[in-house]
């Protein structure tokens, strides 16, 4: 009987569960906004399904979304003023009590007056490579941020790990916490970092061996602010198998593509080893291959500390989907992967202005507006339309003005000629005596 009840619950659970949003009710200013939602969706969830409101007015917020099976995670950079807001999931079909529903699901939240102690960016990451996290202090005093390395959220992994094995041993193996401009700190000895007033630090995490796809989290907290930073490693990592001498920058590339617009992205491959590398080849995932062209198929040699730029050209199709894959650099059994998350919008109604976290200056370009024309490559930047190349103001075309004046002068000359010759000639003098005699 108990087995039947358990079976019935497991069978019916998908039919009665609905979409739920797990999110704090309030945040302080500049605090990174995080949320999680799950449900039995008929189709995948993309960024276009996530909308933020202040009151009843849609507002733009720079955010990212990560999908792990049926769970979706969101983090957003919070640059908004205090007030009442909401996160809404719209234009989604999902099951609720056995029926297909398309009602919007929303979660209200408040941004309070006080500033958060600090923020983190990104709010989560999906990668198989080393990664960076930026922490910024928003207080006018020095703060200490603690790092909790004992939290696991993959129960199966926990059961397989030794009780003596700590979180960072299981997740990263021999992991170090590197702080930009400072001495490298071993996380086995250091569990906190200190930030001066308004200071920004970049933390570099080095991943070692991961036996299987893994989802873990690290907690960062101060006296008044707490974050749980998610790390999702989608495939096993065995760094003992090869001695990696190649490094992609960035280690992860996210691209949003819109109808009828091709897009170029540039990544850098660097030789971080201690010897010359020869005959490096590239391979793109099968899922990405129809949509991505690579500027280089092979690098014949790459010297120590030398870097080379690789241009990726993304081509759109009229299919709305998200594709994940890798660009792989190969040399003598050694490989290095660049994770690519490629989102395509299939209809003109989906067309929105793509956002970027970089300013035009960071893209080495110049902001331009009409009537200026960009003679180089046009890019979307955080602060407006950006031109990578020369900008010119079109010269005014005086042809119409010259033709107009020529027509006017012709008319004037014609009138002068008419009155001077025709009218004057026909006028003549009047002789009164001839008129009196009856002569004309």
- 222 assigned to some structural domain: yes
371 with 410, same domain? no
Confidence of residue 370 (pLDDT cuts 50, 70, 90): confident
More confident position, 423 or 191: 191
Domain end marker among 210, 241, 272:
241
The pLDDT assigned to 357 comes to 53
Between residues 149 and 360, which one has the greater pLDDT? 360
Q: Answer yes or no: do 15 and 109 share one domain.
A: yes
| The domain boundary residue, chosen from 241, 268, 292 | 241
Q: Is the pLDDT of residue 4 over 60?
A: no
Quickly state the pLDDT bin for 346 (edges 50, 70, 90).
low
Query: Residues 95-117, buried b or exposed e (16+ Cβ, 10 A)?
Result: bbeeeeeeeebebebebeeebbb
Higher local confidence (pLDDT), 318 or 235: 235
CATH number at residue 183: 2.60.40.10
For residues 154-163, average pLDDT = 34
Q: Are residues 386 and 412 in the same domain?
A: no
In this model, does residue 412 exceed pLDDT 70?
A: yes
pLDDT value for 233: 85
Residue 270 shares a structural domain with residue 154:
no
Does residue 295 register a pLDDT over 90? no
Domains held by the chain: number: 5
Minimum mean pLDDT among 173-187, 249-263, 312-326: which range?
Answer: 173-187
Task: Name which of 28, 36, 26 is nearest 230 in CA terms.
Answer: 36
Residue 293 and residue 236 in one domain: no
pLDDT band at 216 (very low <50, low <70, confident <90, very high): confident
Mean pLDDT over all residues of the chain?
76
**Residue 120: which residues within 8 A CB-CB, separation 6 or more?**
32, 133, 134, 135, 220, 227, 229
Q: How far apart are CA 155 and CA 209, in angstroms?
A: 18
Residue 428 domain flag: yes
Instruction: Indicate the range of 10-19, 172-181, 203-212 predicted with least confidence.
Output: 172-181
Residue recorded with tokens 């012709």: 410
The domain boundary, picked from 93, 114, 135, lies at: 114
User: Is position 440 within any domain?
Assistant: no
Q: What is the pLDDT of residue 184?
A: 40
Percent of the chain with pLDDT over 90: 21
In the chain, how long is the greatest CA-to-CA distance? 145
Retrieve residue 212's tokens. 């299987």
Q: Do 270 and 367 fall into the same domain?
A: no
Question: Which residues does residue 231 pair with via DSSP β-bridges, in sequence order?
Answer: 125, 216
Q: What is the pLDDT of residue 426?
A: 52
Q: Are residues 278 and 319 in the same domain?
A: yes
Low-confidence winner among 73-77, 177-181, 187-191, 371-375 (lowest mean pLDDT) = 177-181
- In which domain, by residue range, is 376 found? 356-395
> What's the whole-number mean pLDDT along residues 2-22?
50
pLDDT of the residue at 29:
95
Beta-ladder partners of 94: 41, 101
- pLDDT value of residue 2: 40
Determine the average pLDDT of the residues in 274-283: 84
Lowest mean pLDDT among 50-64, 238-252, 301-315, 415-429: 415-429
Do 177 and 90 lie in a common domain?
A: no
What would the pLDDT profile of 81-94 be if each residue is shown by its tens digit? 999 999 999 998 88
For 223-235, what is the mean pLDDT? 89
Span 73-86, average pLDDT: 93
Q: What is the pLDDT of residue 151?
A: 40
User: Three-state secondary structure along the chain?
Assistant: CHHHHHHHHHHHHHHHCCCEEEECCEEEECCCEEEEEECCECCCCCHHHEEEEECCEEECCCEEEEEECCEEEEEECCCCCCEEEEEEECCCCEEECCEEECCCEEEEEEEEEEECCEEEECCEEECCCCEEEEEEECCCCCEEEEEECCCECCHHHHHHCCCCCCHHHHHHCCCEEEECCCCCEECCCCCEEEECCCCEEEEEECCCCECCCEEEEEEEECCCCEEEEEEEECCCECCCCCCCCEEEECCEEEEEECCCCCEEEEEEEEECCCCCEEEEEEEECCCCHHHEEECCCEEEEECCCCEEEEEEEECCCCCCEEEEEEEEEEECCEEEEEEEEEEECCCHHHCCCCCCCCCCCCCCCEECCCCCEECCEEEEECCEEEEECCEECCCCCCHHHHHHHHHHHHHHHHHHHHHHHHHHHHHCCCCHHHHHCCCC
- pLDDT, mean of residues 340-363: 62
Of 207 and 117, the structure prediction assigns the larger pLDDT to: 117
If asked whether residues 37 and 70 sit together in one domain, one would say yes
- Bridge pairing between strands 252-257 and 124-126: unpaired
Q: What is the pLDDT of residue 24?
A: 93
Same domain for 403 and 288? no
Of the pLDDT bands very low, low, confident and very high (cuts 50, 70, 90), residue 116 is very high
Does 219 lie in the same domain as 161? yes
Is 36 a member of any domain?
yes
Specify whether 169 is located in the same domain as 127: yes
Share of the chain above pLDDT 70, in %: 73
Please name the residues in contact with 399: beta carbons below 8 A apart, sequence gap of 6 or more: none
- How many Å apart are CA 204 and CA 133, to the nearest integer? 7
Taking the model in full, what pTM does it have?
0.51
- Does any domain span residue 438? no
Inform me whether the pLDDT recorded for 187 exceeds 50. no
Q: Are 338 and 364 in contact (CB under 8 A)?
A: no
Q: CA torsion, points 89, 94, 95, 101, in degrees to nearest 10? A: 80
Give the Cα separation of 334 and 385 in Å (integer).
41
| Tokens found for residue 50 | 């996530």
Identify the weakest region by mean pLDDT among 35-39, 51-55, 174-178. 174-178
pLDDT over threshold 50, residue 40:
yes
């Amino acid at each position: 009987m108990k087995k039947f009840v358990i079976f019935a619950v497991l069978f019916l659970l998908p039919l009665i569960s609905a979409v739920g949003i797990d999110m704090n009710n309030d945040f302080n200013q500049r605090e990174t906004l995080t949320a999680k939602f799950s449900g039995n969706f008929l189709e995948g969830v993309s960024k276009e399904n996530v909308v933020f409101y202040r009151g009843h007015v849609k507002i733009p917020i720079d955010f990212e979304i990560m999908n792990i099976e049926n769970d979706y995670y969101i983090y957003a950079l919070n640059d908004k003023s205090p007030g009442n807001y909401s996160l809404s999931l719209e234009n989604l079909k999902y099951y609720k009590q056995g029926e297909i529903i398309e009602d919007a699901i929303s979660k209200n939240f408040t941004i309070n007056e006080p500033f958060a102690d600090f923020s983190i960016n990104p709010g989560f990451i999906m990668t198989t490579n080393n990664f960076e996290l930026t922490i910024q202090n928003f207080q006018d005093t020095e703060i200490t941020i603690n790092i909790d390395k004992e939290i696991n959220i993959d129960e199966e992994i926990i059961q397989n790990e030794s009780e003596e094995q700590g979180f960072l041993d299981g997740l990263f193996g021999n992991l170090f916490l590197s702080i930009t401009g400072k001495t490298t700190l071993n996380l086995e000895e250091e569990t906190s970092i200190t930030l001066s007033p308004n200071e920004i630090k970049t933390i570099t995490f080095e991943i070692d061996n991961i036996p299987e796809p893994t989802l873990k989290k690290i907690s960062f907290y101060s006296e008044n602010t707490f974050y749980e930073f998610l790390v999702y490693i989608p495939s096993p990592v065995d760094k003992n198998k090869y001695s990696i001498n190649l490094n992609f920058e960035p280690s992860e590339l996210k691209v949003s593509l819109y109808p009828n617009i091709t897009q170029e992205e540039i990544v850098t491959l660097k030789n971080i080893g201690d010897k010359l590398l020869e005959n490096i080849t590239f391979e793109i995932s099968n899922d990405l291959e129809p949509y991505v062209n690579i500027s280089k198929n092979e690098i014949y040699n790459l010297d120590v500390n030398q870097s080379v730029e690789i241009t990726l050209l993304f081509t759109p199709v009229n299919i709305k989907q998200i594709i994940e894959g890798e660009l792989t650099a190969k040399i003598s059994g050694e490989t290095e992967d660049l994770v690519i998350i490629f989102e395509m919008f299939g209809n003109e109604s989906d067309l929105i202005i793509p956002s970027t976290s970089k300013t035009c200056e960071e893209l080495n370009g110049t902001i331009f507006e009409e009537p200026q024309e960009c003679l180089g490559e046009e890019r979307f930047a955080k602060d407006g339309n950006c031109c990578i190349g020369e900008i010119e103001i079109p010269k005014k075309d005086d042809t119409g003005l010259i033709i107009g004046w020529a027509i006017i002068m012709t008319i004037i000359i014609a009138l002068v000629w008419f009155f001077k010759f025709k009218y004057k000639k026909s006028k003549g003098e009047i002789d009164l005596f001839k008129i009196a005699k009856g002569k004309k």
